[in-house]
Structure 1
Amino acid sequence: MRTVFVGAVEGSLRALEALIASDLTPGLVVTIPPGKAARHSDFCDIAGPAAAAGSNVMLTDNINSQDTLREIEAFAPDLSLVIGWSQICQARFRAIPSIGTIGFHPAPLPAFRGRAAIPWTILADLPETAATLFWIDAGCDTGDIAAQIRIPLTPDETARSLYDKQVSMLARMLPETVTQIAAGNITRVPQDHSKASYCARRRPEDGRIDWSEPAPQIARLIRAVGDPYPGAWSEIDGNRITIRTARVHEGAPKYIGLPGQIQEIDDRTIRISCGGFTCLEVTAYQGDGGRPPARHAILGQRQPEAAR
């Protein structure tokens, strides 16, 4: 069976490695040029490992361009695997493989279709999710299910821990599914569209912290948009501070202050007042200013306009 693999992120590499380890090396691997790496916060070079395994490699920044489609058509694949690609696969691309195109979505389809499924899963405080392989069609994550594995979530789940769980399930499911397809055992379970939900796109600026919210809600945002994504952030004195890890401060001492006001700061932590007189304890952060903010300074406060 002739297979083309399309991807450009960390999960793509893990999936490709799992296929190679299972003697299912794709004949053609399509990925983005290194100069387009900024398109994905979790970009990962798959061209090198693919070439080393014997795959032909094609670089493109548009999976639907005429040149790209012609080259894939010349390869004449039976199956396409789109694992970690930001563009919609249009009709001509989907028509090329004789069997069809499999995609991956880190959510329990039909729920949580769309963008940024991992951050939204944590923000929604769900008890579980799923990893899903599905047949790509003209809709947004609407195709028949090829395989799905449930994933339980912990109360302190982070974007990184959930990303790793999803990639682990992907690396397990994909070789099994490709092997079954090659043997003619093709699974297609239609989605129940009445149970669909959709996740909206998230941008780096959506990680801005609103300090008037309670500390547990801010801590959840920090967990949801951290590594491998851009992170939760605030500003002080015109400089951005990205907060990597934090926890809700509970117990003594109690702090009374304005939302965003720094109550205590030392070499290990920063304690910051939040909405409802709650407090967040920041345990890792990165600042653009080169030095930590001062005690009693207020994060996120707009700077006064210059005198005219």
Structure 2
Amino acid sequence: MRIVTFGFQTWGHRTLQAIIGSKHEVVLAVTHPPSDNPYERMWNDSVEELALAHGIPVHLAKRPDDELRRAVEEADPDLIVANNWRTWLPEDIYRRPRLGTLNIHDSLLPKYAGFSPLIWALINGDPQVGVTAHLMDERLDAGPIVAQVAVPVGPADRTVDLFHRTVGEIEPLLLHALDLLESGTAQPIPQNPADATYFHKRSERDSHIDFGWPAEVIERLIRAQSDPYPNAFCYFKGERLRVLSASVSNTRYGGTPGRITVEDSGGIAVTAGPQAWSGANRALILHRIRTDDGVEHDALAYLGNSGGYLE
């Protein structure tokens, strides 16, 4: 098949790489220009460089325009394959190929449509994440599913661990979906809108710890935002502290959320959770923190038994 790829960062790079190594022909690679966004600079293997190294024409675009439409029309693809294309594709582009557009999304759709699905799934304590290949329609990440693979989430997993596992599933999942589409044996399964969830892009505010959350959820937020992602953070006496590692206490604590209490399990316990005054909640135990000067600290040594509050 003649294929046009739409992709960006490592996800788009792995997708293009998989098709280059297959029996199919990539006739055009569409990608975004380099970005200064911190999330978009982490996994930034270049689609453009890979395509040019294999003699594949490249079209750079921030969003669909007439020039992009002409480039796709001239490429005359049988199929478009998209992965981590960051803007909406209009119908006259995604329906242009005879087989339409296959989108690769790193969640188990219909859950976690939209942005940062691995981070949100980890925060929510999902037992598995995954990758889905679906046909694009007018709704974001909502078209019928061609193929899907699940990846288990372990109790100590960070988003970086889930990234490497899910990105490793792109090639086999994609090649399987391409075989189904080329042979005419694909049986796309409509997504159930009642099961769908949509999540927005993450911003700095989303990493600010709310000690009114249960300690278990905060601990997952910290793992979800572990390096190289922008860390979960709080403030102590006006200074921002990035939390690098934490755990959940076995002992139940009462009081006001955010109150620094006593040493526990080699760290410092902080009261957390709804109705904390009842004494029914586990505490969040901070182990390692990082100050804005980039220096890491032992949380117990840094905060001590100050009796202060984290906000």
Aligned AA for 1:5?
Answer: T
Task: Measure how far apart 1:170 and its partner are.
Answer: 1.8
Q: Which runs of 5+ in 2 are unaligned?
A: none
The one-character-per-residue Cα deviations of 1:231-261 (angstroms, maximum 9, x if unpaired) are 311223544332233222447xx98886445
Task: Measure how far apart 1:78 and its partner are.
Answer: 1.4
Cα distance in 2 between the residues matched to 1:235 and 1:284: 14
Partner residue, 1:288: 292
Partner residue, 2:224: 224
Q: In 2 relative to 1, CA 114–101 (structure 1 residues): closer, same or farther, beyond 3 Å?
A: same
Task: Measure how far apart 1:136 and its partner are.
Answer: 0.6
Q: Are 1:95 and 2:92 an aligned pair?
A: no
Q: The residue matched to 1:157 in structure 2 has which SS? A: coil
Q: Which moved more, 1:130-139 or 1:197-206?
A: 197-206
TM-score by structure 2 length?
A: 0.81
Q: The residue matched to 1:12 in structure 2 has which SS? A: helix
Q: In 2 relative to 1, CA 284–86 (structure 1 residues): closer, same or farther, beyond 3 Å?
A: farther
Partner residue, 1:190: 190
Task: Measure how far apart 1:119 and its partner are.
Answer: 2.1
Aligned 1:115-134 pairs, distance under 5 A: 115-134=115-134
- The count of residues paired between Structure 1 and Structure 2 equals 295
Aligned residues of 2:35 and 2:41 also touching (Cα < 8 A): no
Q: The residue matched to 2:26 in structure 1 has which SS? A: coil
Aligned AA for 2:233?
Answer: W
Aligned residues of 1:239 and 1:289 also touching (Cα < 8 A): no
Q: Are 1:210 and 2:210 an aligned pair?
A: yes
Aligned residues of 1:15 and 1:170 also touching (Cα < 8 A): yes
The one-character-per-residue Cα deviations of 1:103-159 (angstroms, maximum 9, x if unpaired) are 122222223333332222122222234321000100122211110122332233321
Task: Measure how far apart 1:7 and its partner are.
Answer: 1.3
Percent identity of equivalent pairs: 27
Cα distance in 1 between the residues matched to 2:113 and 2:214: 28
Aligned AA for 2:187?
Answer: T
Q: In 2 relative to 1, CA 256–124 (structure 1 residues): closer, same or farther, beyond 3 Å?
A: closer
Task: Measure how far apart 1:284 and its partner are.
Answer: 4.3
Q: In 2 relative to 1, CA 36–256 (structure 1 residues): closer, same or farther, beyond 3 Å?
A: closer
Aligned AA for 2:60?
Answer: L
Cα distance in 2 between the residues matched to 1:223 and 1:263: 22
Q: In 2 relative to 1, CA 37–278 (structure 1 residues): closer, same or farther, beyond 3 Å?
A: closer
Q: In 2 relative to 1, CA 272–82 (structure 1 residues): closer, same or farther, beyond 3 Å?
A: same
Q: The residue matched to 2:169 in structure 1 has which SS? A: helix
The one-character-per-residue Cα deviations of 1:161-188 (angstroms, maximum 9, x if unpaired) are 2222221222220122223333444432
Aligned residues of 1:123 and 1:224 also touching (Cα < 8 A): yes
Q: Which runs of 5+ in 1 are unaligned?
A: 302-308
Q: The residue matched to 1:241 in structure 2 has which SS? A: strand
Q: Which moved more, 1:32-41 or 1:125-134?
A: 32-41
